[in-house]
Amino acid sequence: MRRRALYLAGTALLLAFAGYAFTSMRDTLTPYVSFAEAQRGANRTLQVAGGLVKGSSDYADGALSFTIQEPKTKQTLRVRYRGVKPANFEEAISVVAIGRYSPQGNVLEADKLLVKCPSKYQGVKPEEKTYG
């Protein structure tokens, strides 16, 4: 009888731990979504990726605003990021913005930015080295 109670208590403890781990992990996931899905998912953190529209960036009062374009649909999305402007931002070919969509301003309020720039080594042929 006592052994059975210990098994039940152990099983309940394991289930509680598994439930806690699952909910904690689910809250930290930020899926990539399309621009249309981002506009519908205003109450959760998500990430969108797109090409930086050249000439669309504006940095004023510690806020960087810019437009990204979805490659397949050519749909655009305005992004606002409060923080220091990344040093290589103007050379970016694509940007991943992580944050929440604000329907009031029709803008994605980004908490984080991942800037993808062309490689500085792209198109450079390695030199032949001779040892001798």
Q: What is the CATH number for 62?
A: 2.40.50.140
Q: 23-59: per-residue pLDDT in tens?
A: 776 656 677 788 888 888 767 888 899 999 988 999 9
Residues 35 and 23 reside in one and the same domain: no
For residue 80, tell me if it sits in a domain. Answer: yes
Q: How many domains does the chain have?
A: 2
Residues 78 and 13 reside in one and the same domain: no
Which ranges constitute the DSSP H helices of the chain?
Answer: 2-28, 35-40
Residues 8 and 68 reside in one and the same domain: no
Domain extent, residue 4, equals: 1-29
Residues 53 and 76 reside in one and the same domain: yes
pLDDT value at position 7? 86
Measured between alpha carbons, how far is 115 from 89 in angstroms, rounded to an integer?
A: 7
Q: 53-92: per-residue pLDDT in tens?
A: 988 999 988 899 999 999 888 899 999 999 888 888 888 8
pLDDT value at position 132? 43
Residues 70 and 22 reside in one and the same domain: no
Measured between alpha carbons, how far is 17 from 87 in angstroms, rounded to an integer?
A: 43
Q: 86-109: per-residue pLDDT in tens?
A: 888 888 888 999 999 888 888 999
Measured between alpha carbons, how far is 121 from 15 in angstroms, rounded to an integer?
A: 51
